[in-house]
Amino acid sequence: MNFSNTVFRAYAPGTQPDNNTPAYRSTQWRHPARALLKIPQTLTELTGPRFSPTQFPPIENMAMHAGREALGERIIVAGHVRDEDGMPVAGTMLEIWQANAAGRYNHARDTHDAPLDQNFTGAGRVFTDADGGYRFVTIKPGAYPWGNHPNAWRPNHIHFSLFGPGYATRLITQMYFPGDPLLSLDPIFQATADVAARNRLVSSFDLALTQPDHALGYRFDIVLRGRLATPMEE
C-alpha cells in the first residue's frame, strides 16, 4: 500500500444546499429528480484549470472605473482561501460580481427600477497570495427585489467564483453582510440545512481591515475541499 494518491473529501452532510428547494421557485424544473451517480475521482476530477494574473489581469478596485469613483459606500473585502485542513490555497483565482449601491446589476436583463452607475461595472478578479490571502475594494451592494414570492428581496450580497486545485473543488457562492434583516427571509440563504454552515457565508465587520477616512472592512474566509489520503492497493 502507499498513500501517495489523495482524493478530495466528501462534503459534510447538511453543509451544502439541496437543489430541490421548493421555496426557491426556480429550482422546480431545474433540479435533477434522480440521485447523483457517485464516481471515483480520477485524473479529470483531481486536476483543474490554472489561471495566471498575466493571462487574466486582476481587477482589484471595483469602486473606480476609468478613473472615476463609483457611487455608494466604499468597502474593503478581504480574507483567506484555505482547505479543510487549514492549508492555504495559493495562487487561485477569485471572480467577483455584484449589484451596484442601488441594487441594480449592469446587466441587460436586470429590469429593477433603480439607477445604473456608469462608474461601476460590478465585476472583479483577484488571485490569492502565498498565504491564501485575497483583498479587493468595491461598493457595498444594495438589496433588490426579485419575483420569487410577494415582496421578495435579496439580501445584500457579493457573488464569488473559485476554482481551487482541482475540477472537484469548484465553488460558486455568495457573501452576505452581518445583521441583514433579509437573511432570515431569503430562500437561497435558508436552503442549507446546517445553520452554522450557512452563517459562515455572512462576512464579519473588521475594524483592523477598515482604512481610516476611506472604507469599512469586511472579512470573508473561504474553505475549499481538503485532501484525504487513501490507501491504494498496488
Partner 1 sequence: MQHTTTSQTIGPYWHLLEDSSWQDLTRFGADGEVIHVTGHVLDGSGTPLADACVEIWQSSPPASQSFTGFGRSATDATGTFHFTTIKPQPVPGPGNASQAPHLALTIMARGLLFHLSTRLYFADDPANADDPILSLIESPERRATLLARQTAPGTWSLDIHLQGDAETVFLEI
Catalytic-role residue among 80, 82, 104, 154: 154
Distance CA 232, CA 5 (A): 7
Distance CA 164, CA 160 (A): 13
**x-or-dash pattern for partner 1, window 4-33, by CB under 8 A?**
-----x-xx--xxxxx-x--x-xxxxxxxx
109 interacts with partner 1 by CB under 8 A: yes
Provide the residue type at 218 as one letter.
Y
The binder of partner 1 chosen from 106, 133, 135, 182 (CB under 8 A)? 106
**x-or-dash pattern for partner 1, window 35-54, by CB under 8 A?**
-xxxxxxxxxx-xxxxx---
Nearer Cβ to partner 1 (7/90): 7
Q: Count CB atoms within 10 A of the CB of residue 178.
A: 11
Cα dihedral angle (46, 57, 132, 219), rounded to 10 degrees?
A: -120
- Is 107 a known active-site residue? no
The binder of partner 1 chosen from 72, 94, 117, 122 (CB under 8 A)? 122
With contacts defined by CB under 8 A, name the span among 68-76, 102-110, 126-134, 208-216 that binds partner 1.
102-110
Distance CA 7, CA 230 (A): 7
- Is 157 a known active-site residue? yes
**x-or-dash pattern for partner 1, window 203-232, by CB under 8 A?**
-------------------xxxxx------
List the one residue out of 202, 226, 199 whose CA is nearest residue 82.
226
Nearer Cβ to partner 1 (76/162): 162
- Is 109 a known active-site residue? no
The binder of partner 1 chosen from 6, 119, 121, 210 (CB under 8 A)? 121
All three cell numbers of 46, joined, read 483531481
* Torsion angles phi and psi, residue 59, rounded to 5: -125, 95
- Is 144 a known active-site residue? yes
- Is 170 a known active-site residue? no
All three cell numbers of 44, joined, read 479529470
Nearer Cβ to partner 1 (139/168): 168
**x-or-dash pattern for partner 1, window 144-183, by CB under 8 A?**
---------------x-x-----xx-xxxxx---------
Q: Which residues of 4-19 are buried (b: 16+ CB within 10 A; e: fewer)?
A: eeebbeeeeeeeebee
Provide the residue type at 186 as one letter.
D
- Cα–chain center distance at 64: 21
Which residues carry out catalysis? 105, 144, 154, 157, 159
